[in-house]
Every structure is written in structure tokens, then in C-alpha cells.
């Protein structure tokens, strides 16, 4: 089935419901409390044991009871700038702004930039919601078949032209490297091509790199758009995924070089000063330590990345064994299956699109996923996002066991969770 053309959409009003991902996670927790045994593939959280040194640093930061500077303190900003420099992106601490999660920083940015937002389709659900919340239109640009995180360079200029003739004013392009929902790590060449188009079209690029340190096959092969057009790329990141600290709410942005970047920085800082004042001192204490990448944190991260990689590859292989399609995930902890090949079989169960597929999986197979429509995909497609990180264990002790193991697929609770995934996905095809 072909997708609809990426027309500009004025979606008009602020969301009135809790975000679908958070709502699903809360629903699964409620169902579990009521006795259901849910296979939870519906939430993008690392949920791994935290590193004790991070907790120690957080505790040491408890004495930091003053508000502190809006952008974060100098030590944390220095550590962040050095973190980016180690990834080939020259950076100074004055370009760094911390916030309570990169999600809040993305929202603050959308408050100050003019124009509409160009999103790859599919892409993380929050971008669309935040664009709508900020009174912006969404211009969808399809990702190349089998890939993710970037719009198809061959299509992007045409989409922008169409959007402008439909009255939209696309000014911001959001990229996700590695990607959520597909887990794809966009290649260096395609990333550069998209950056060149962004230059020609005068777009600000937001490069969401929250998964950069999770599961990369070859970190050197990963390029940041900031390497190609540093004066128009704003990078967001944080330790939520790579260090499993989503609930600590630490995020940071690296603003572009030059006058555009410093103007944007001051405007986002102004929003931050009115909304969250500063990032919590204990959080900054832990962030400074994590961003300085001491050996114990680097090896923790590598172990976590290896675990995510092993489990995600196992789920990807299951998807392919069932005969469904999926882009090959090389980063993050997601697989994005497409059951189009089983449209007729699924129709026998009343499953005709991604909302009915999502509902069918929950109601008939006790399996929680987010349908592709949440990520901007055409709802008629039979796609969903499977988050693999929660397969590592439903209790702290089990997650620790998986984390410490060199052979996580041999651990009974991991192998039985994977067997259940295989069983459920196979049932979809029969
Ligand atoms: C692509 C992407 N960006 C950002 C975030 C949120 O990160 P943070 O915890 O820094 O707000 C998520 C979390 O799901 C994500 O998937």
C-alpha cells in the first residue's frame, strides 16, 4: 500500500490527552497490578540498573540547594562541550544549555523559532505533538524505504516546495540519529545530503541524538549533522537512554555556531528562565560526571549498549522469521515491523490498519505496542514500534542479571520473553 503524499497539515489545537507512549505505559502498569501478564513492547525506556557512582554524585549534589544559572553551571557546561568535541563537533561551553530533559528543551526551542516544522515520517511522536502545541504546522517528509531518522533526500526539496505552495512556512527540520521508532542509524552520506538541502532551503536543523551512545555498531560511522553545517544545527541529547536515567530529567542542547546560534541560545535561555529557572543542582552534578565519560561510565554504557543490541537483534530476527518486514535497526532499542505481507490474514481478525493492530495485540495477545500512526505513518499501514529494552526483565533483580550477563539470550526470563514475542508475532501471520 502506498503512503499519502506529505502534505502540510494544520493540526490546529493543543493535545488534550496524556502522550500516547506515557499513557500506554501507565495502562500497562495498571493492567499488571490487576493481574494481567502483559508483554510490554510499548515504552521507550532503557530501564536498566543505574550506575552507583551516578547515584553517589547525585547525592553529593544535594547540598546544591540554590537555583544556579539558567543554562547550567560552568563545570557541567564545560563537560558537555568536551563531550561534543570528542564526537568531532567543535563546541564551547557558551553553546551549551541544560534543561529538565531534552524534551523540555525541544519544546522551548519551538517557542522561539518562527515557521513550521518538517518531520521525517515516521518519527518520534512528541515532535508532532510539540509542533501542534506551539501553533506550528507539520510538513511530513517520508524516510527512504527501509531506513529511518532522515527524510529521503531525493524527496525533501519537492516536499518543501509542495508545502510552501500549500501555504506552510517550513523553517525547522528535525532529524533523529539513531532513530526512534525504527532504530536505524542514518548513514554519513545521506546525513550530509540532507544537511546540504537544509542549507539551500535555509532550514534550522534539530538533531536529536539522545540515542547516540546506545547500541551503535560502529560509533565512528555515526555522523552528527553538526559536523556538516555547524552554524545551523542544534543538537539535543542527554543521559536518559544511554545511562538509563530517564526519570532523573537531565537534558542538554548544543546550540549552533555563529550569530544564529547565539541569538537562538539567548531566546531559549529566556524561555527557560520563565519556565524552569534552572536545572536541578544534583542533576547537574551527576551530568557533569557522566559527560566527562570516566572509564567506569564508558564501560557501563558499552555493556548496556551490548545488551540492547543483542536483544534488539533477536527481536529483529524474529520479525524476519515471521515473514514481516522491518528496517534493520543499528541503534537505540526499537524494531519497527510492517505486517503488510499478512494483510489478508489480519483482516480475518478485523485488523485493517495500525490502530486496530495495536488494539488487537493488546486485547487478544496481552502485548503492548505503539501503532505506526502515532509516529505520523499512514494509519492504513500495518506497522508498529516494538521497544525491546523492557524484555531484559520485569524486576530490578532480573534486569541486573541480564545486564551482568555475557550471554543474556541464555537467561531463562529473557529467552522466555523472546519466545513469547515469537509466538505472538507468528500468531499474527496465521
Ligand atoms: C527521540 C527521542 N528524543 C527525546 C526523548 C526524550 O528524552 P529526555 O528524557 O531527554 O526528555 C526520547 C524519549 O523517549 C526520544 O525517544
Residue 236 Cα to ligand 1 midpoint, Å, equals: 9
The vertex-246 CA angle with 184 and 216, nearest 5°, equals 25
Average pLDDT taken over every residue of the chain: 94
Are residues 36 and 76 both part of a single domain? no
Question: 116 in ligand 1 pocket by Cβ < 6 Å?
Answer: no
Atom number, ligand 1, closest to the C-alpha of residue 100: 11
181 lines ligand 1 (CB under 6 A): no
Q: Is the CB of 222 under 6 A from ligand 1?
A: no
The pTM (predicted TM-score) of the whole model is 0.94
Say if residue 8's pLDDT is above 60.
no
Question: Do 119 and 176 have their domain in common?
Answer: yes
102 CB less than 6 Å from ligand 1? yes
- For residue 308, the surrounding DSSP H or E stretch is helix 295-321
- How many domains does one find in the chain? 2
Choose the residue to mutate in 120, 123, 126 for probing ligand 1, maximizing ligand atoms within 8 Å of C-beta.
126
Say yes or no to pLDDT of 4 above 90.
no
Question: Ligand 1, residues 241, 308, 332: which to mutate, most atoms within 8 A of Cβ?
Answer: 241
Q: Say yes or no: 122 and 163 in one domain.
A: yes
Q: Residues 338, 319: contact at Cβ < 8 Å?
A: no
210 Cβ closer than 6 Å to some ligand 1 atom: yes
Is the residue at 2 inside a domain?
no
Cα 251 from Cα 107, distance rounded (Å): 12
Above pLDDT 90, what percent of the chain?
Answer: 91
Q: Is 42 in the pocket of ligand 1 (CB under 6 A)?
A: no
Per the CB < 8 A criterion, the answer to whether 253 and 105 are in contact is yes
CB distance 233 to ligand 1 below 6 Å: no
> Residue written as cell 514475542?
421
Question: Looking at the predicted structure, is the pLDDT value of residue 424 above 50?
Answer: yes
Indicate if 12 and 93 belong to the same structural domain. Answer: no
* CATH code of the domain containing 248: 3.40.640.10
248 CB-near residues (< 8 Å, 6+ apart): 58, 239, 240, 283, 286
Which pLDDT score is estimated for 219?
Answer: 64
Does residue 21 fall inside a structural domain? yes
- The predicted pLDDT at position 5 comes to 45
Task: Quote the ligand 1 centre to 166 CA distance (angstroms).
Answer: 31
Residues 43 and 168 in one domain: no
C-alpha span between 291 and 250 (Å, rounded): 11
**DSSP notation for 216-238:** -S-GGG---HHHH-TTTEEEEE-
Ligand 1 atom nearest to CA at 238: 10
Ligand 1 pocket residue status of 176, Cβ below 6 Å: yes
| Residue 256 CB–ligand 1 contact under 6 Å | no
- The answer to whether residue 87 is domain-embedded is yes
Cell of 233: 544545527
Count CB atoms within 10 A of the CB of residue 389. Answer: 27
Per the CB < 8 A criterion, the answer to whether 138 and 171 are in contact is no
Asked if the structure places residue 273 within a domain, the reply is yes
**The last residue of a domain, from among 248, 267, 293:** 293
203-237 pLDDT tens trace: 999 999 999 999 666 766 789 999 999 999 999 99
Residue ending a domain, among 260, 293, 326, is 293
Q: Distance between CA 288 and CA 251 in Å, rounded?
A: 12
The total number of residues shown for the chain amounts to: 430
User: Of residues 272 and 25, which shows the higher confidence score?
Assistant: 272
Whether pLDDT at 426 is above 60? yes
Q: Which of 215, 174, 235 is nearest to 308 (CA)?
A: 215
When pLDDT is cut at 50, 70 and 90, the band that residue 386 belongs to is: very high
CA of 103 to the centre of ligand 1 (A): 6
253 and 209 within one domain: yes
Per residue in 238-269, pLDDT tens? 999 999 999 999 999 999 999 999 999 999 99
Mutating to test ligand 1, I would choose from 108, 236, 240 the residue with most ligand atoms within 8 A of its C-beta, which is 240
The pLDDT assigned to 17 comes to 86
Return the best residue to mutate from 124, 183, 239 for the ligand 1 pocket (most ligand atoms within 8 A of CB).
Answer: 124
Give the nearest ligand 1 atom to 45 CA.
Answer: 14
C-alpha cell at 187: 548513514
Same domain, 231 and 360: no
Which atom of ligand 1 is nearest the CA belonging to 240? 9
Residue 14 pLDDT class (50, 70, 90 cuts) = low
pLDDT in tens, 290-335: 999 999 999 999 999 999 999 999 999 999 999 999 999 999 999 9
- Lowest mean pLDDT of 43-47, 181-185, 285-289, 407-411, name the range: 43-47
Residues 56 and 89 placed together within one structural domain of the fold: yes
Average pLDDT of span 24-32: 91
Asked whether residue 368 is domain-assigned, the answer is yes
Same domain for 149 and 271? yes
| 59 and 174 together in one domain | yes
Q: What is the DSSP string of 77-128?
A: HHHHHHHHHHTT----GGGEEEESSHHHHHHHHHHHS-SEEEEEES--HHHH
User: Residue 35 burial (CB < 10 Å; 0-12/13-18/19+)?
Assistant: exposed
Ligand 1 centroid distance, CA of 252 (Å):
11
How far is 162 from 157, CA to CA, in rounded Å?
A: 9
| Helices 102-112 & 258-275 angle (0-180, nearest 10) | 110
388 inside domain: yes
Whether pLDDT at 9 is above 60: no
Q: Say how many Å lie between the CA of residue 102 and the centre of ligand 1.
A: 6
CATH number, domain of 303, equals 3.90.1150.10
- All residues at 6 or more sequence positions from 43 whose CB lies less than 8 Å from its CB, including other chains: 21, 24, 25, 28, 368, 387, 390
In a domain? residue 1: no
Model confidence at 276: pLDDT above 60: yes
Domain co-membership, 37 together with 68: no
Residue 383 DSSP label: B
Q: Give the contacts of 199 (CB within 8 A, at least 6 positions apart).
A: 229, 232
Nearest CA to ligand 1 atom 16: 180
Question: What is d(CA 164, CA 169) in angstroms, rounded to the nearest whole number?
Answer: 6
As a whole-number percent, the residues of the chain with pLDDT over 70 amount to: 95
Output Rg (C-alpha) for the chain, integer angstroms.
21
3-state helix, strand, coil in the chain (%, to 5): 50, 10, 40
- The preferred substitution site among 22, 25, 210 for testing ligand 1, maximizing ligand atoms within 8 Å of CB, is 210
pLDDT digits (tens, 9 = 90+) for 65-121: 999 999 999 999 999 999 999 999 999 999 999 999 999 999 999 999 999 999 999
Q: Does 256 map to a domain? A: yes
8 Å CB contact between 272 and 106: no
Asked whether residue 218 falls in the same domain as residue 128, the answer is yes
Structural domain for 163, as ranges: 52-293
Inter-residue contact 330 to 185 (CB < 8 Å): yes
Which of 256, 278, 293 is the C-terminal boundary of a domain? Answer: 293
Q: Is the CB–ligand 1 distance for residue 101 below 6 Å?
A: yes
- Interval 164-175: pLDDT, tens: 999 999 999 999
CA 345 to chain centre: 32
Amino acid at each position: 500500500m502506498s503512503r499519502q503524499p506529505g502534505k502540510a497539515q494544520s493540526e490546529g489545537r493543543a493535545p488534550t490527552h496524556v502522550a500516547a507512549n506515557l499513557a500506554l505505559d501507565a495502562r500497562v502498569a495498571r493492567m499488571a497490578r490487576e493481574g494481567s501478564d502483559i508483554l510490554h513492547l510499548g515504552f521507550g525506556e532503557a530501564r536498566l540498573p543505574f550506575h552507583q557512582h551516578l547515584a553517589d554524585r547525585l547525592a553529593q549534589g544535594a547540598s546544591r540547594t540554590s537555583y544556579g544559572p539558567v543554562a547550567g553551571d560552568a563545570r557541567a557546561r564545560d563537560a558537555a562541550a568536551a563531550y561534543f568535541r570528542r564526537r568531532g563537533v567543535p563546541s564551547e561551553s557558551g553553546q551549551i544549555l541544560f534543561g529538565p530533559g531534552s524534551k523540555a528543551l525541544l519544546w522551548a526551542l519551538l517557542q522561539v523559532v518562527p515557521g513550521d516544522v518538517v518531520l521525517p515520517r515516521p518519527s518520534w511522536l512528541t515532535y508532532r505533538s510539540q509542533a501542534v502545541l506551539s501553533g506550528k504546522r507539520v510538513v511530513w517528509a517520508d524516510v527512504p524505504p527501509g531506513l529511518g531518522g532522515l527524510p529521503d533526500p531525493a524527496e525533501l526539496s519537492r516536499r518543501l516546495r509542495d508545502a510552501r505552495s500549500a501555504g506552510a512556512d517550513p523553517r525547522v527540520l528535525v532529524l533523529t540519529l539513531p532513530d526512534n521508532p525504527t532504530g536505524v542509524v542514518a548513514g554519513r552520506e545521506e546525513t550530509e545530503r540532507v544537511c546540504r538541502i537544509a542549507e539551500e532551503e535555509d532550514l534550522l536543523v534539530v538533531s536529536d541524538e539522545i540515542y547516540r551512545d546506545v547500541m551503535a555498531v560502529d560509533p565512528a560511522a555515526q555522523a552528527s549533522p553538526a559536523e556538516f553545517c555547524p552554524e545551523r544545527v542544534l543538537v539535543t541529547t542527554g543521559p536518559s537512554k544511554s545511562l538509563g536515567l530517564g526519570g532523573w530529567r537531565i537534558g542538554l542542547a548544543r546550540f549552533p555556531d555563529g550569530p544564529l546560534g547565539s541569538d537562538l541560545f539567548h531566546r531559549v535561555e529566556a524561555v527557560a528562565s520563565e519556565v524552569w529557572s534552572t536545572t536541578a543542582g544534583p542533576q547537574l552534578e551527576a551530568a557533569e560526571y557522566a559527560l566527562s565519560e570516566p572509564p567506569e561510565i564508558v564501560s557501563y554504557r558499552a555493556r548496556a549498549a551490548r545488551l540492547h543490541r543483542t536483544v534488539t537483534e533477536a527481536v529483529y530476527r524474529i520479525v524476519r522469521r515471521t515473514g514481516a518486514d522491518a528496517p534493520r535497526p543499528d541503534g537505540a532499542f526499537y524494531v519497527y515491523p510492517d505486517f503488510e505481507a499478512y494483510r489478508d490474514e489480519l483482516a480475518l481478525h478485523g485488523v485493517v490498519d495500525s490502530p486496530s493492530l495495536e488494539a488487537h495485540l493488546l486485547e487478544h495477545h496481552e502485548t503492548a505496542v505503539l501503532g505506526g500512526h502515532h509516529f505520523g505513518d499512514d494509519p492504513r499501514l500495518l506497522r508498529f514500534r516494538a521497544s525491546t529494552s523492557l524484555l531484559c526483565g520485569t524486576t530490578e533483580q532480573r534486569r541486573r542479571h541480564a545486564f551482568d550477563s555475557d550471554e543474556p539470550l541464555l537467561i531463562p526470563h529473557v529467552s522466555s520473553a523472546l519466545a513469547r514475542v515469537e509466538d505472538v508475532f507468528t500468531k499474527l501471520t496465521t
